[in-house]
Amino acid sequence: MPRIAQMVRWLVGRRIRTLRQAARAGAHARARQRVLALAAAVLILAGCGGGATGGGGEGASTPPAQGGAGGPVTITIGINADPPNLDPAMSSALVDRYVQNSIFDKLYDLDENLQVVPELAESLPEVSEDGTVYTIKLRQGITFHDGTPFNADAVVFNLQRYLNPDSARYSELSAVDRVEKVDDYTVRIVLKQPYSPLLYTLTDRAGMMGSPKAIQEAGDQFGQNPVGTGPFKFENRIKGDQIVLVKNPDYWREGLPKADRIVWKVVTDDNIKVVNLKAGQLDIIDTVPAQSIADLRSVPNLKVEIGPGLGFQGIYLNTEKEPFNNPYLRRAVDLAIDRSTLVQVVFQETAEPGYGPFPPSSPAAAASGEPPQRDLDQVKALLAQGGHPEGFQFTLKTATGPVTQQVAQVIKDMLADAGIQMEIQQVEFGSLLDDTDNGNFQAAALGWSGRPDPDGNIYPWLYTGGSQNDSRYSNPGVDRLLDEARRVLDMNQRVELYRQVMKQVHQDAPYIYLYYPKNVKAYSAQIQGFVNYPDGIIRTENLTKVR
Amino acid sequence: MLQFVARRLLLSLPVLILVTLLVFVLIHVVPGNPGRAILGPEASPEAVAAFNRAHGLDRPLHVQYLTWLAGVLRGDLGRSLVDGTPVTTLIAQRLPATVELAVGAMLVATLVAIPAGILAATRQGTAVDHTGTVLALAGLSMPQFWLGLLLIIFFAVRMNWLPASGYVPITVDPVQNLKTMLLPIVVTGLRESAVLMRMMRSSLLEVLRLDFVRTARAKGLGGWGVIVRHAARNALVPVLTVSGLQLAGLLGGLVITEQIFVIPGFGRLIVDSIYSRDLITLKGAVLVAATLVVLVNLVVDILYAWLDPRIKVTGGSR
């Protein structure tokens, strides 16, 4: 500190000396010098805050390409939030998966039609007669980014890490009893009981394979420098701003990846994201607000793609609290909402009306059921049965943001027609999650990004004590059916079971299913190889940029 | 002088500790559970509980606070709750952009405001003065995000003269750095200049009424000479106070500007860590921000003495 004081003194002193010497100097110069002195002093002081290493290289500032080939290809993708944790064992946000999918390969992947395809596995697993033993053959000759060989030991190491109760993957693998190495390139997963969603689970984070060496060295800091076998290697990151990945030259898929660098840029504001896409600062954006679609379509060198999604949105009703401990009132709210009008007003083509946990892309879509016709007479009858013929009042907690506000407003008006008064209370997202966890709400608008296996969209939500069951719904019949659907391997039989579940759930209405958001992506026409997957995750290995 | 600086720094320690205590209490009054906020809506309750246990968030508050404070006194700001990145790294990554933005904006503000203020004061009541006032008011009332977006749409989307966003450290590529920082610096600088200009104007008007100006004029000094050599120098004292406060405020981060221009700045770090309930990062960042404010104030105090010799920098009691 004293050193800095000296610096400042020297600076200021020097200024005074020069000023005295230049007694006749122009006044403007003097005023400017003062300003400069002030600025310089501040700069020096600020500079002592630690050796600032800027980190990120060229980042998203590559100017729009100016014809001519050659030069490395950088693709910049705008994402709406900063990925909290890139460690597959710790991650629990959708946005993590965007980036992880470029760094890590998984045992299995999904294709555009949600079919499971082998990735690090050589083929689909061999499943024993009783559905409890999965034998997985692995590809050979693959190495992690740090040179560690990929083999059965690595798979066992990763899966055992995910089976640790502290891992975020623990509940997804709850059916697994043990993981065994058969030989260097064969692994066996033994289940406690048959568990139909297992294969899909291995297409997500529980199937991501990290370098055992890097994990042992980094421990719980692995997310800061993730090492996988994927098409791109982690290069650097400025938290909250960007993540830079570079090409993995030893990638096992011939001729891939096509790009040299992928930059994930965090842009939280939708409008800013759209403007940056137009200006060429971003090549791809992960979400597009409904009101910007027409605008983006009118720009000749941009493309907009709308594809099916995996998730749903709706409203939790707290079945343990007034007024929604009364099933008639829950059902009244459910039937007073006209889903197709809601979607037309707020989303147009970026969502579909919904009445269950399974969107049209899901193999169990048929079990969701058709959204009901709005029937105010029936609503009135239900209110009378529930002991509130004149209607009642409740508060909806909803996250902040223009879209959630619009949805709440439209619903408020629809309910008002039936004499139901809904107050809208905006709550910051972190508090909203806390309130729904603790049952501190009457109704709360929260949805789900979705899972490819139907089980992931229904079991945690409706099973007694399920991790997403914030409605506190409990129905032994529903629990029985959900458990059975996990044991049955045939999808048609499972869909039939889900249909029975939904019949009961529509009667009880613990959760108001409203709509299925679609995946809307927009990108520059220079980008080739872009495919809009239902899981919303951008596969980067085939992306390239023509100039 | 050195004694004065050392004293001031020492005296600011309790202030800094008080600030962290205040932040700590505030953040714990805010509803929300760090484990849940960080792990997100899709994490199981078991995972949330395990997270909070692993990071000692289930221990009594005073224990958590004192543990953290003990670390700070050892020069260790701790690790981010989100993924374990050292907080010092996070701050070092974010501070340069914000310092550049703040200093640049204050430069622009001063260069615009001081001449404009002098002009308005010397032409009091004329069209020039009124125009200046109207412009200053407009500058103050215009929402940052709106002006910023308009400028981006014009300069980046329409004209393609400047990039719409992105930040390149000045050490990596000064030209590209200037290109990306130009718009945010100008937007922020113009806004701050409105305040400074009003300040300069009223302060100068006051000084011009003082005796020594009349004396100087009587001695036959011409109009501009008096104004610039004698009056402006005295008039700068309150302006300096305000610009010091402004700079300190800007160093605390320019959240909106940083968001519009996608700059990895300090303000976004603080706001993000509030949203994600990353208490450790938040405490570290606020501590650094408060330290910066203290330092800027100190520099302003030293500069007073130079601008106006009647103000003495002393060690207090004399």
State how far residue A91 is from chain B, nearest Cα, in angstroms: 7
pLDDT surpasses 80 at B206: yes
The minimum CA-CA distance between B47 and chain A, rounded to whole Å, is 6
Is A55's pLDDT higher than 80? no
Is pLDDT at A279 greater than 70 in this prediction? yes
Confidence at residue A52, expressed as pLDDT on a 0 to 100 scale: 32
How many residue pairs bridge chain A and chain B with CB atoms within 8 Å of each other?
254
Whether the predicted pLDDT of B33 surpasses 90: no
pLDDT, residue A54, reads 33
The CA distances from residue A169 to A88, A101, A166, A173, A450, in Å, are 8, 16, 9, 7, 16
- Write the pLDDT tens digit of every residue in B81-116: 888 889 999 999 999 999 999 999 999 999 999 999
Chain A segment 51-80 residues within 8 A of B by beta carbon are 51-61, 63-64
**B219 C-beta neighbours (distance < 10 Å), count:** 8
The mean pLDDT of B39-50, rounded to a whole number, is 79
pLDDT in tens, A480-502: 999 999 999 899 999 999 999 99
Average pLDDT taken over every residue of chain B = 85
CA B315 to CA B318: how far, in whole Å? 8
Select the more confidently predicted residue: A349 or B224.
A349
- B47 to A281: CB separation less than 8 angstroms, yes or no: no
Predicted pLDDT of residue A16: 41
| Interface with A, mutate which of B93, B118, B196, B303 (most A CBs under 10 A) | B93
Question: What tens digit of pLDDT does each residue of B50-85 get?
Answer: 888 888 888 888 898 888 889 888 889 999 988 888
What number is the average pLDDT over the span B242-252? 87
For A416, residues 6+ apart whose C-beta sits below 8 A from its C-beta are: A422
- Say how far apart CA A318 and CA A323 lie, in whole Å: 8
Interchain proximity A437–B45, CB inside 8 Å: yes
The answer to whether the Cβ–Cβ distance between A84 and B83 falls below 8 Å is: yes
Give pLDDT tens digits for A293-304.
999 999 999 999
Range 206-245 of A in CB contact (< 8 A) with B: 220-221, 223-224, 238-242
Report the pLDDT value the prediction gives residue B314, as an integer from 0 to 100: 54
Q: How many CB atoms lie within 10 A of CB A370?
A: 10
> pLDDT confidence of B312, banded at 50, 70, 90?
low
Q: Which of A239, A267, A435, A449 is the mutation pick for testing B, counting most B CBs within 10 A?
A: A239
Nearest neighbour of A168 by CB, restricted to B43, B95, B269: B43
Give B220 to chain A, closest Cα distance, Å.
17
Residues A396-410, mean pLDDT to the nearest whole number: 93
- How many Å lie between the alpha carbon of B183 and the closest alpha carbon of chain A? 14
pTM for the model stands at 0.84
Strands of the sheet containing A261-266, edge to edge, are: A232-238, A242-247, A261-266, A74-79, A284-285, A519-524, A302-307
Burial class for A488, CB neighbours closer than 10 Å (0-12, 13-18, 19+)? middle
Mark which residues 454-483 of A lie under 8 Å from B by CB.
460, 467-468
Mean pLDDT over residues A456-474, rounded?
Answer: 95
How far is residue A367's CA from residue A312's CA, in Å, rounded to a whole number? 14
B172/A57 CB distance under 8 A: yes
Query: What is the nearest CA distance from B66 to chain A, expressed in angstroms?
Result: 23
pLDDT at A18: 38
- The Cα A156–Cα A180 span in angstroms is 7
What mean pLDDT, rounded, does chain A reach? 88
In chain B, which residues have their Cβ closer than 8 Å to the Cβ of A34? 236, 307
pLDDT(A150) > 90: yes
In this prediction, residues A250-278 reach a mean pLDDT of 94
Whether B92 and A269 lie within 8 Å, measured CB to CB: no
Mean pLDDT of the A445-455 span: 94
Q: SS3 for A537?
A: coil
Question: What pLDDT, on a 0 to 100 scale, did the predictor assign at position A443?
Answer: 98
